[in-house]
Every structure is written in C-alpha cells, then in structure tokens.
Amino acid sequence: MMSVPSNLRYTSEHEWIDDASPAAVGITAYATEQLGDLVYLSLPEVGDEVVAGEVFGEVESTKSVSELFAPASGKIAEVNAEAVDEPELVNADPYGAWLVKIEVTELGSLLTAAEYEALADQE
C-alpha cells in the first residue's frame, strides 16, 4: 500500500483534508487505486455549503461512480478547475491534486494517518 501522508486527516470513505485555511480536500491514493482511471469529477460550486459526513460530489472512473463525502462542514472557497478539466491529475498525484478548498466551520469525524492505514488495510 502507498504511504499515507501523516500531515493530513482522513475519512473512512477515503477523503483527506489538510489543516490549512481554507482546507484542501481530496481523495486518497487507496481510493484512486480502487476506482481506476478517473474520467469525470462532479464538484460543488464556490460558495456552496457542505456538511461533514454528507455527499458533496462524485467521481466517475472507468469502473464506477463513487460519491464524495465532506470531511468538514463549511463553505466551498475554491474548486480545482484543473482537476475538473483533467481528472487524471488526481490519479497521478492524489495528495497534490486537491478537489475543493473549504472554509471549515466544523470538522467531521476524522482519522489519523495510522488509523486510516489500518482501515484501508482491512478492506
């Protein structure tokens, strides 16, 4: 399994969030491995409110469509237009190609890198 950056926090649904302000959100390397080649991203608009633990978008791959779950509540501050135009960037660099940035008002239930690695190893 690919190493999981220890400076990020994770959801049990395979999203990551950093502690910047606004916080960048993306999907993990494990998620990209499971999905295969990404072909489409459906993301919220700047200004949209998201709620921790609730669906905020979806990713479509050559294998399936998967929902994205917000790791935090808050307002969308930025959407990565480059990733929307070229979803394969997320496959190439899952921890560099963030999807959205959230002005966080409340964090959801998050895992440390070690907790996330243990979860992904069980799947």
Query: Which pTM does this prediction carry?
Result: 0.95
Confidence (pLDDT) at 3? 79
Report the mean per-residue pLDDT for the chain. Answer: 96
Identify the pLDDT of residue 89.
97
DSSP character string of the chain: -PPPPTTSEE-TTSEEE-SSSSEEEEE-HHHHHHH-SEEEEE-PPTT-EE-TTSEEEEEEESS-EEEEE-SEEEEEEEE-HHHHH-THHHHH-TTTS--EEEEEEEE-S-B-HHHHHHHHHH-
Whether the predicted pLDDT of 96 surpasses 70: yes
Rounded to an integer, the average pLDDT of 40-58 is 98
In a domain, 31, yes or no: yes
Residue 2: the pLDDT is: 62
Segment 59-83 shows an average pLDDT of: 97
pLDDT for the residue 76: 98
Please indicate, yes or no, if residue 98 is contained in any of the structural domains. Answer: yes
Q: What is the pLDDT of residue 102?
A: 98
pLDDT exceeds 80 at position 1: no
In a domain, 87, yes or no: yes
Q: Is residue 63 part of a domain?
A: yes
pLDDT of residue 123: 83
Q: Is residue 105 part of a domain?
A: yes
> Which residue range is the domain that position 16 belongs to?
9-122
Spell 80-108 as b/e; 16+ CB within 10 A means b.
beebeeebebbbeebbebbbbbbebeebb
Contact 87, 112 (CB under 8 A): no
The total number of structural domains that make up the chain: 1
Q: Is residue 3 part of a domain?
A: no
Residue 70: CATH number of its domain: 2.40.50.100
